[in-house]
């Protein structure tokens, strides 16, 4: 992609305003940040969004008062212009500011070099990972395949379904759009290779960032190994949507089978520095704190473990590539990588295969497990018209609160997630927040870093080793939607409702109290306009009041999610669901959905095991029908 001279000048000036190269560090332009951002533009699937940014860059020189050009202003004046966009009453200006800040500081601190080294981060691990237990195939030229079942996707849903179907004696072909997860531990390179849209996905208004795996094994390859069952009250809620199987013994047996095959256990729960902060704070308050069950075997739970968001260096993570897919491959299933399904082939009201461009698969049945962002897009591209497809989008939104401690926490190290608190999980019936923590590497840190000027931002960045993150994870009651453009690509529309925002604000206070009780000397939020609090001077109510003054509207504070659910939900009627109680679509026979899009409502806990159990249940039913 070639930027015009005007566009490039604007991009360089913006980069060097966010990161001008203080304290002997290189400016962002000297560190290669503009070229990295252009590369991200080139990879972005929704070209309309890229064109909006390019149009903005074309006129950016006039963001200051004419006749002065932005790039000609002194640094303090350029900073003033950026702050005016950050604090604007216009959502589109705040959205544009967020996109630019996130892109610049993500690359500035995430790329190898002096800026990252100044944070005290040791860099990538000197490890190369472990070979997969099977060799996936790569299509060369046109390929025609006949089989019993074509499974689209290889994550918690697709991988599990493939294992179940292959074990039933059926010929299975798995199509995965991503690549195998070769490990190198380098953050930005890994994010670009293994995550949806290079880990830069966001809702249409940019107000919520979300993550999803885009590699062999999907989310099970790159997630944080938290392996929790769907709570009983949520299962009852799902059953009330017309799917009685959710409270059945059969579903319980699916959980048992999934947990056994994926080695879910509580024997690898050594608390990281982050987890110790959460545990110490919760216990000091007299709040619930528990150990997270994890799907690992032989995990070191020390320095290596914190890097497993980039794939597991030890082969200890028991994702679908190491378990269900390996089982399927051992019985003759074919697993193809780098193959993206374009549409499901439908004849006489039944699925008969998959069109994946040069790869054409004919099958007796099709399982769709592309994740709750891409599954509705595939269904729409395949001609399905049910109104529920794409509706009921749930995210488990979080915001981040960080405590600064006297001792180094090194948030990139240690067990991915070992502790949690459910103290406020049921603020209103089954709705509320869970408190968790997670590893934060420099690229993600930069993407969420507060910015009130280059000096203030860099000073905070240098406290990175001493910061411990705690986040409230909201079980969202109210939904958004995934819409599919003319180009067939999905986009997400979602905004936190007043109901869910009340719970998030309560969780914001709860996270701050945990950090205060754990001994934090200073606590900061991720509001775009910085908010900080030093416990002891004033109470937590002052911190909340300052946060309220900054606002909770889109792009005034960081919202993020790694859980996408509900966009092709199962139910008792086509009037309110996309799939019947067995996961088969109401419109097309032998087309079965086996991923998180089937959830009638949000699971309320990290959804990997729930997805795998639903896939096990639905795939078992399909295997019986095909037999």
Residues identified as active-site = 563
Let me know: does 151 contact 365? Beta carbons within 8 Å: no
Let me know: does 577 contact 243? Beta carbons within 8 Å: no
Coil, helix or strand for 531?
A: coil
C-alpha span between 323 and 217 (Å, rounded): 10
At 494, list the tokens.
């979602």
How far is the CA of 610 from the CAs of 118, 256, 264, 504, in angstroms? 41, 11, 13, 23
Let me know: does 604 contact 378? Beta carbons within 8 Å: no
The helix-helix angle for 187-194 and 91-110 (nearest 10°) equals 120
Which residues are registered as beta bridge partners of 143?
A: 359
Report the relative pairing of strands 290-291 and 294-295 from DSSP bridges.
unpaired
Number of other residues whose CB lies within 10 A of the CB of residue 169: 12
141 Cβ contact list (under 8 Å, min separation 6): 358
Burial class (CB in 10 A: 0-12, 13-18, 19+), 260: exposed
Number of other residues whose CB lies within 10 A of the CB of residue 421: 25
C-alpha span between 314 and 304 (Å, rounded): 8
DSSP tag of 261: H
C-alpha span between 314 and 329 (Å, rounded): 21
Sign (positive or negative) of CA dihedral 319, 323, 328, 330: positive
Complete DSSP assignment for 287-312 = ---EEPPEEBSS---STTGGGTBTB-
Q: Which helix (H) or strand (E) holds 324?
A: helix 324-330
C-alpha span between 606 and 577 (Å, rounded): 23
Let me know: does 523 contact 512? Beta carbons within 8 Å: yes
C-alpha span between 69 and 89 (Å, rounded): 23
Let me know: does 375 contact 218? Beta carbons within 8 Å: no
C-alpha span between 136 and 333 (Å, rounded): 10
How far is the CA of 558 from the CAs of 52, 154, 206, 277, 531, in angstroms? 22, 30, 10, 22, 12
C-alpha span between 211 and 191 (Å, rounded): 10
């Amino acid at each position: 992609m070639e930027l015009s001279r005007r566009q490039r000048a604007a991009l360089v000036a913006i980069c060097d305003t966010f990161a001008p190269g203080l304290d002997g560090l290189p400016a962002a332009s000297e560190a290669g940040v503009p070229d990295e951002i252009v590369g991200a533009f080139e990879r972005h699937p929704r070209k309309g969004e890229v064109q909006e940014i390019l149009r903005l860059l074309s006129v950016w020189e006039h963001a200051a008062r004419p006749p002065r050009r932005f790039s000609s202003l002194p640094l303090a004046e350029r900073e003033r212009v950026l702050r005016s966009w950050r604090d604007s009453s216009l959502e589109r200006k705040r959205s544009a500011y967020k996109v630019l800040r996130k892109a610049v500081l993500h690359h500035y601190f995430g790329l190898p070099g002096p800026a990252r080294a100044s944070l005290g981060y040791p860099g990538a691990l000197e490890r190369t990972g472990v070979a997969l237990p099977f060799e996936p195939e790569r299509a060369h030229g046109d390929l025609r395949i006949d089989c019993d079942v074509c499974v689209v996707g290889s994550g918690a849903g697709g991988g599990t379904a493939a294992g179940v179907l292959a074990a039933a004696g059926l010929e299975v072909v798995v199509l995965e759009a991503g690549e195998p997860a070769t490990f190198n531990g380098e953050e930005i390179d890994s994010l670009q290779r293994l995550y949806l849209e290079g880990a830069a996905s966001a809702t249409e208004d940019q107000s919520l960032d979300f993550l999803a795996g885009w590699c062999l094994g999907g989310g099970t390859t790159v997630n944080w190994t938290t392996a929790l069952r769907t709570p009983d009250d949520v299962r009852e809620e799902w059953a009330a949507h017309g799917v009685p199987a959710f409270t059945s013994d059969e579903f319980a047996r699916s959980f048992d089978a999934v947990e056994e095959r994926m080695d879910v256990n509580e024997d690898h729960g050594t608390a990281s520095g982050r987890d110790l902060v959460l545990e110490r704070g919760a216990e000091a308050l007299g709040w619930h704190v528990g150990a997270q069950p994890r799907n690992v075997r032989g995990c070191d739970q020390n320095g290596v473990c914190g890097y497993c968001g980039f794939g597991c260096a030890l082969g200890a993570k028991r994702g679908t590539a190491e378990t269900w897919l390996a089982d399927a491959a051992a019985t003759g299933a074919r697993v193809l990588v780098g193959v993206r399904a374009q549409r499901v082939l439908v004849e006489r009201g039944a699925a008969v295969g998959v069109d994946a461009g040069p790869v054409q698969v004919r099958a007796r049945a099709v399982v769709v497990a592309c994740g709750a962002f891409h599954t509705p897009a595939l269904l729409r591209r395949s001609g399905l018209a049910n109104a529920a497809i794409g509706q009921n989008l749930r995210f488990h939104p979080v915001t981040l609160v960080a405590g600064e401690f006297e001792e180094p926490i090194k948030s990139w190290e240690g067990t991915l997630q070992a502790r949690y608190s459910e103290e406020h999980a049921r603020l209103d019936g089954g709705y509320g927040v869970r408190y968790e923590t997670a590893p934060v590497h420099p690229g993600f840190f930069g993407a969420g870093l507060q910015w009130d000027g280059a000096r203030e931002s860099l000073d905070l960045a240098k406290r990175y080793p001493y910061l411990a993150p705690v986040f409230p994870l909201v079980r969202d009651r109210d939904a958004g939607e995934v819409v599919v453009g003319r180009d067939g690509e999905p986009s997400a529309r979602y905004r936190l409702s007043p109901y869910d925002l009340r719970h998030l604000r309560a969780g914001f206070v709860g996270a701050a109290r945990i950090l205060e009780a754990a001994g934090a000397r200073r606590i900061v939020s991720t509001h775009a306009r910085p908010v900080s609090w030093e416990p002891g001077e004033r109470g937590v109510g002052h911190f909340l009041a300052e946060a309220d003054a900054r606002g909770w509207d889109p792009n005034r504070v960081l919202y993020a999610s790694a859980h996408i659910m509900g966009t092709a939900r199962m139910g008792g009627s086509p009037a309110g669901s996309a799939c019947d109680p067995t996961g088969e679509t109401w419109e097309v026979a032998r087309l079965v959905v086996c991923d998180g899009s089937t959830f009638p409502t949000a699971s309320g806990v990290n959804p990997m095991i729930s997805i795998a159990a639903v896939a096990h249940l639905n795939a078992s039913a399909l295997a019986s029908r095909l037999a």
